[in-house]
Structures are given as structure tokens and as C-alpha cells.
Chains A and B, each alone.
Chain A
Amino acid sequence: MVHRMLRVDHAGEYGANRIYAGQMAVLGRSKTGPFIQEMWDQEKKHLEKFNEILAENRVRPTALLPFWNIAGFVLGASSALLGKEGAMACTVAVEESITEHYNSQIRTLMEKDPERYTELLQVIKEFRDDEMEHHDTGLAHDAENVPGYWLLKNAIQLGCKAAIYVSQRI
């Protein structure tokens, strides 16, 4: 069970990395560039940490990584093509999904055996706080002003849920 959790978390951070990479490719030289870069750097640190954890625990990474590579980049780039608000809306949607996902993992681990998983719980809590910060940054930068915000946000969140489900198993 822990292996599945670690696998999907690793896939999530990998996907988030690619999303920011896509957004930077389009908006890198605009005024929002530095903000996106900062969030991207934090995601890179998250991914590094999960790489370590996976190697330590001998967890198999998801076989869909090449797919998330392309899909993440495409999502980031296409949301950025809608303008800065589009990119921020994508960030808000993804970070909200990830926060919810980490919260449910924290609940599961706390129910199971908090003492055994203290270190993992701490890592997940810290990352969840970072992701919430990204979410708030996105909102602060006019995410809600994109036309079709509700539709875009829900579509992206549905995609995230599907990605989480699949990455746990494959």
C-alpha cells in the first residue's frame, strides 16, 4: 500500500515538473516567468526527494512516466497559451488536486500507523504545504479571470484524478 502511495506521489511530482516546464516554455520571458520559475524550482526539489525515497524503499516507478512527460508538458504549454491567467488557472487546478491527494494520504497513514511512518508523514505534510502555497499564488495572480475558469479547472482536476488512479496501479 505504501508502495502504491509512493509511486503515485513520484508520478505526481514528475508531472507537476513537466507542467511548469511547459508553462515556462511559453511564458518564461514574460512578467509571470519568475513566479512560475520559483514554483518550478520547488517542484524539482520535491521530485528529487521522491527519487530518493523510491530508491530507498525499492518502489517500482510508474510505467506511464513517458506519457506523463508529454502530457504534462502539453498541458502546461497549452494552458500558458491562454495567457497568464490560463497558466495560473491550470496551476490552481493541479495544486488543489495534489493538496487533496496528499491530505487523503496523510489521513490514511495516520489511521494506519503514525509512528511507523513519521518521516514519510513529515515529508508529505511539508510538500502539501508547498503545494497549497502554489495554489494561493495562482489565485493571487488572477487565475479566476480566465474565460471558462470553471470548465477548465474541473476538466484539469478530472484528468488529475484519472492520472492518480492509473499511476497507483500501473
Chain B
Amino acid sequence: MAALLRGLRAGRALRGLSSVVAAPTATNPQCGSLRRGFRCAGLRLQDESKSDKPPSSTSSSTTYHEHYQARSAEQDTAASASDPAVDQSTDPNTSYQDQSGEQDEEYETEEQLQARILTAALEFVPLHGWSMEAIAAGAESLGLSSASTGMFEKGSGDLVLHFIAQCNAQLMEILAEQHNQVQLGQAEPKKTADFIRDAVETRLRMYIPYIETWPQAMSLLLLPHNIPDSLKHLSTLMDDIWYYAGDRSTDMNWYTKRAALTGIYNTTELVMIQDSSPDYQDTWAFLDNRIQDVVNMATTAKQVQSTGEAVVQGLMGAAVTLKNLTGLNQRR
């Protein structure tokens, strides 16, 4: 598959500025769909060349949506709305020209292509489970060959990891938005325990559409070749939640807080997959109790520490009293 991509890239480079116009026009979006689909699958690998092009910031978020059959309708509206003044001739590698005259953006990296396929594959998970069939169905729904599943070395683990990354990103957006609201004074800051509870609940609710197959996904994440990535996602998630909860500690609390939250999150996830109560009430009750446990533990730890300090003070006082009584404190 990679060799195919490289071969196609070489071929495309030779064609250079040829006038092969492949952009879907408003009148003929279906023409040559198979060829375009094949070309889409054969995108060149992107590296620093992309930074040479003047970025078209208004369309950067939709770059890899353009030119593709699946998104032609969206693109038409996006293209007509965006700025047509971007100069195209500065990029000598442009083979395709968009109708709006926009900077050519169809150089999609392999990661972006993989991301698109996996996102499309998520629709088929309830049907096929977290498997290569789902990925193949996703690829086909985009007009790509189902052989493109060969791109995913970790197989269905890639699909689960992609979904998790997507959920984490969504949660971050929500938390950042809440943070902004508090900064702007439009919302009250929540207490830490409530904030944590809401963040974990929001995040776990994202699994509800896939809850039937989630045990399969969890077991996939435990496979040895998936563990590093799943741990990385988990630790980033915990760090982000604590950051937005207001944690700025720079000592061992950094570790204990994240470890505690990881425990809470994982156990709640396990309870959720076998919960059959309406709207998962039992799960949220379990979550509340676990958070309360951690809060209690922290309070107890503080109490133990202050008791310990008081005891030490008492002992020192007793020692000084003893020294006074026996006359050891006097200077002779």
C-alpha cells in the first residue's frame, strides 16, 4: 500500500502543472468518481512541502474535505463562501484547481486520510463491532477501496484509539469552553469534586452509542501493541481534566491526584458496561461514591498530618519541661 502511494506520488510529480482539472464542478459532481476515488487513495505523503504554501486559514479546517465526492456538496458551499483571492500560482505542484481559485489543499497527509476512514468506520461499529470489517465498510462509504484497511497495522486497535482520541478532543473543547465562561465571569466556578464528576460523566457518556460493543473495545486496548498508545491517551486525559479542574501542583500531589482519578475513571467505566439501569443512574451513583471516597481520604490524610504535627509539638514541649525539671537546661 505504501509502495503504491509512493508510485502514484512520483507519477503525479511528473505531471506537474498539467491542466488535469479534477475538481468537482457544481454541475457535474459525479463525473469520474471512481478515478477520483482512486486518486484520493493514492495521495502523496505530506511533509514540509505543505509549509511552503501560503496557508489559507479560512479553509484550513476543511482542507481535506475539498475535492472529494463524499463532501462535494459541503465543498461547494464552503468554496463559494471562502476568499477567492488566494494566489495559486505560487505553488508549482498544484495539479488540481478549485473552482473558487483557492489554494489547492487536496494534499492530504496519510494521517488525515486514516482519520477520515476511521471516522467513517465508526458508523459501522454497531453492525460489525470494532473490527477490520467496520474499517473496510468505512473506507467503502468514502468511495475508497476496502484494501485500504492495509494501512492500519494495529488493525481494529487503530479504530478504538482513534475513537478515544476523538472523545478526548471533544471533552477538551467542552472543558475549555467552560473555562472560558468562568474567566469571562459568565459562569460560576464549580467545586473540584463536582467538576471532576461532571467531566468524567460527560466523557463516559460519549461511549453510550457504542456501549454494546465497548467491552470488545476495552479488550482490544489491552493488547500489548495497543497498550502504550492507550496509556498515553489515558494519562493525557487525566492530566487535562485535572488542569481544567484547577490543579497546579508541582509536588507528589501531581501524581497522587492523577492516579486517584485514573482509578475512579477506570472503575466507573467497568461499572458502566454492565449497567442496565435507566440512563445509567447506577453508574453515576457509583462515580459519586468513588469521588466521595477520594475526598474523604484526602481530608483524613490532612487530619493525620496535623494530628502528627500536634503530637510532635506536644512531645517537644514535654522534653523541654523534663529538661527544665532536671536542671539540664541551665547554663552553668
Contacts and interface: CB of A to CB of B under 8 A. Distances in A.
Interface residues of chain A: helix, strand, loop or mixed (majority): helix
B248 interface: yes
Nearest to B247: A55
A101 interface: no
A126 to B, nearest CB: 20
A60 B249 CA distance: 9
A54 B243 CA distance: 12
A60 B243 contact: no
Interface residues of B, number: 9
A55 B254 CA distance: 10
B250 A58 contact: no
Interface in B238-278: 239, 243, 248-252, 254-255
Interface stretch (A61-69, A117-125, A142-150): A61-69
B151 to A, nearest CB: 31
B251 A65 contact: yes
Given A10-B250, A51-B250, A58 B255 contact: no
Secondary structure dominating the interface of B: helix
Contact of B250 (A54, A63, A66): A54
A103 to B, nearest CB: 24
A55 B250 contact: yes
B243 A61 contact: no
A10 B250 CA distance: 9
Contacts of A66: 252
B239 A61 contact: no
B305 to A, nearest CB: 15
Contacts of B250: 10, 50-51, 54-55, 61
A51 B248 CA distance: 9
Interface in A17-67: 50-51, 54-55, 58, 60-61, 63, 65-66
Contacts of A51: 250
Contact of B248 (A55, A60, A65): A55
Contacts of A54: 250
A65 B252 contact: yes
B259 to A, nearest CB: 11
A54 B250 CA distance: 7
A10 B251 CA distance: 10
Contacts of B239: 58, 60
Instruction: Kindly name the residue among A10, A60, A63, A66 whose own CB sees the greatest number of chain B CB atoms within 10 A.
Output: A60
A60 B250 CA distance: 7
Nearest to A59: B250
Nearest to A66: B252
Contacts of B255: 63
B310 to A, nearest CB: 22
B251 A61 contact: yes
A79 B274 CA distance: 60
A11 to B, nearest CB: 10
A65 B254 CA distance: 11
From B239, B249, B254, name the one whose CB has the most chain A CB atoms within 10 angstroms. B254
Which of A51, A54, A61, A66 has the most B CB atoms < 10 Å from its CB?
Answer: A61
Contacts of A60: 239, 254
19 contacts: A10-B250, A50-B250, A51-B250, A54-B250, A55-B248, A55-B249, A55-B250, A58-B239, A58-B243, A60-B239, A60-B254, A61-B250, A61-B251, A61-B254, A63-B252, A63-B255, A65-B251, A65-B252, A66-B252
Given A55-B248, A55-B250, A61-B250, 14 more contacts: A10-B250, A50-B250, A54-B250, A58-B239, A58-B243, A60-B239, A60-B254, A61-B251, A61-B254, A63-B252, A63-B255, A65-B251, A65-B252, A66-B252
